[in-house]
A and B are shown apart, each in its own frame.
Chain A
Amino acid sequence: TAAEPWPENAALYQQLKDEQILLSDNASSLAVQAFLQMCNLPIRVVCRANAEYMSPSGKLPFIHVGNQVVSELGPIVQFVKAKGHSLSDGLDEVQKAEMKAYMELVNNMLLTAELYLQWCDDATVEEITHPRYGSPYPWPLNRILSYQKQWEVRRKMKAIGWGGKTLDQVLEDVDQCCQALSQRLGTQPYFFNKQPTELDALVFGHLFTILTTQLITDELSEKVKNYSNLTAFCRRIEQQYFGGHDKDSSATVMARSAKRSLLR
């Protein structure tokens, strides 16, 4: 039952787009934006340097709707469902199980690989992550915050068994995940044929961000480019839900920068 209708001033909070936000957070934010666009719910993106600390769970993005604050895609999908909007109502029980399993696959492999790359690969950490993560803050706070976060992420990687992996093994895992997604998608427009679901939003968020983010090497985006149906999928969602709409300025900026790199 919908408690209140979706307000006009709903906002999505993330870090500063150009200087601060990292690959994994950008992917998560884009996934939520895509999901809300697919549900036809308007949202404006607000960039704040301290977004991570404002979030109730410490993870980004979070949305501020009415007087409620919800973070991360899973809880946001539940929250939107409680308001009466859902993308997966048309699926039967077995399909819903499959959808949840594939969403875990993306979190388990793609998101973890992104975190590994940006916090455990020394070259990327030095050149990209450290400068970006602490950029809104003065020295030495920027370094301290950055090292603290790195220590946290490395602890988690070790606990789940990724501590001993090399970058090549991680890229192998990314390839395996992309292959699975590509095989599951096949020639369909969306993962569950005609209508997009939260799975499509999640996959789009991660793959599009990987394809359009400049890292030290192109190895990560090359893994995704190997699968033409995945790049076509990203282009399709971008055109349908982000391109050609002038209502959200950040979406058009993203569309323009995407066109620059996807069409290269």
Chain B
Amino acid sequence: MAAPMELSCWGGDWGLPSLHPESLTVMAYAKFSGAPLTVNTINNSWRAPKGDVPALISEDTVVSQPAKILNFLRKQKYNADYQLSAKQGADTLAYIALLEEKLLPALLHTFWIEAENYCSVTKPWFASRIAFPLSLYLPGKMSREALNRIMLTRGGPPLYSLTEVEAQIYRDAKECLNLLSKRLGTSQFFFGDTPTTLDAFVFGFLAPIYKVCFPRVQLQEHLKQLPNLCRFCDDILNCYFRLTVSGHSPSGQDTADANLQKLTQLVNKESNLIEKMDDNLRKSPQHPPRKLTTLKLAAGGEESSSMNRLSP
């Protein structure tokens, strides 16, 4: 049994478990891979967010940054990418790079730099969750960091002013959303029927755009014109987070959720045993050991139905 793990991250609203894209990515991945995480949302207590958020605390180690946290979870055998081939793993890296280069600047802008959005929504929300007097300083710092990042990476000549940069980054973000929509097509997740790392990252970036109610919403309006991406976010929220619109999670569905988690953990453990028997499988394109184990777990049902089929 793995040591209990704690995730420290920003909380949620508007039907989301978290408003912060990176926190959301980690939470989604944990749900997909069945990792048992206790989520501690940052609130008004004196334990102010130190260093990077989100941060995973396991025994004595503190891991920050989504990529490192996901790596850590994978090493603990919570792997959502079991059934991916080598090429699909490569595609995952490429699409994550696309998200960071083309979508993230506009996302940061919508939250932290667009004046109306920042003053009426973002700043009050974050300030209400941080203890005074840090609440006077931290949101401003996050806003300045966002502006810095955008201007340094996208603000070179011939774009000199913020308005020109804004136009370019929103163009890029809309193109990125279109590309994601084309790639997703009609499938449920990006690589078939089970969610993977890429789904966690896309969800982490898209859900805040989709759900948070801002005064200035050009990106949200564009996203709403891509119904398959909206359906993708809603599916994940309904299946994995089970939050109603008001943001409360009914207790009855909690036990169902816990059972689903236990089942996923059992399945993971079984596949780990098989994996240990042949180490080479880890390097080459993944065969689907999970399929074998689900057959085994549902042995009673499967066998009887197959016997029925054999003897008409």
Contact = CB atoms under 8 A, between A and B. Distances in A.
A101 interface: yes
A181 to B, nearest CB: 7
A3 interface: no
Given A93-B182, A184-B90, A160 B97 contact: no
B94 A104 contact: yes
Interface in B185-240: 185
Interface string B86-119: 1101110111011011100000000000000000
A176 B94 CA distance: 11
B65 interface: yes
A161 B67 CA distance: 12
Contacts of A179: 90
B157 A160 contact: no
Interface residues of B, number: 27
Interface stretch (A10-18, A28-36, A52-60, A253-261): A52-60
A104 B89 contact: no
Interface of B: 65, 86-87, 89-91, 93-95, 97-98, 100-102, 145, 148-149, 152-153, 156-158, 179-180, 182-183, 185
Contacts of A104: 94, 97-98, 100-102
A57 B154 CA distance: 11
Contacts of A58: 156-157
Contact of A159 (B65, B91, B149, B156): B149
Contact of A94 (B65, B156, B157, B185): B185
Nearest to A97: B179
24 contacts: A57-B157, A57-B158, A58-B156, A59-B156, A96-B179, A96-B182, A97-B180, A100-B98, A101-B91, A101-B97, A104-B94, A104-B97, A104-B98, A105-B97, A105-B98, A108-B97, A156-B152, A159-B145, A159-B153, A160-B149, A180-B89, A180-B93, A183-B87, A184-B91
Contacts of B102: 104
Contact of A56 (B97, B100, B153, B158): B158
A242 interface: no
Contacts of A171: none
- Which size bracket describes the interface of A in this complex? 20 to 34
Given A94-B182, A156-B153, A159-B149, 10 more contacts: A94-B185, A96-B179, A97-B180, A101-B97, A105-B93, A105-B97, A108-B97, A176-B93, A181-B90, A183-B90
B23 to A, nearest CB: 16
Contacts of B95: 101
Contacts of A102: 94
A98 B183 contact: yes
A160 B94 contact: no
A111 to B, nearest CB: 11
Contacts of B98: 100-101, 104-105
User: Interface SS of chain B: helix, strand, loop or mixed?
Assistant: helix
A100 B251 CA distance: 44
B71 to A, nearest CB: 11
A212 B286 CA distance: 35
Contact of B94 (A56, A57, A101, A155): A101
Contacts of B152: 155-156, 159-160
A100 B179 contact: yes
Contacts of A180: 89-90, 93-94
A216 B86 CA distance: 33
A97 B156 CA distance: 25
A57 B91 CA distance: 30
Nearest to B88: A183
Nearest to B89: A183
Interface in A180-238: 180-181, 183-184, 186
B196 to A, nearest CB: 15
Contacts of B90: 179-181, 183-184
B97 A159 contact: no
Contacts of A57: 156-158
A182 to B, nearest CB: 8
A183 B86 contact: yes
A107 B183 CA distance: 21
A80 interface: no
Nearest to B175: A100
Nearest to A106: B97
A186 B87 CA distance: 8
Nearest to A199: B94
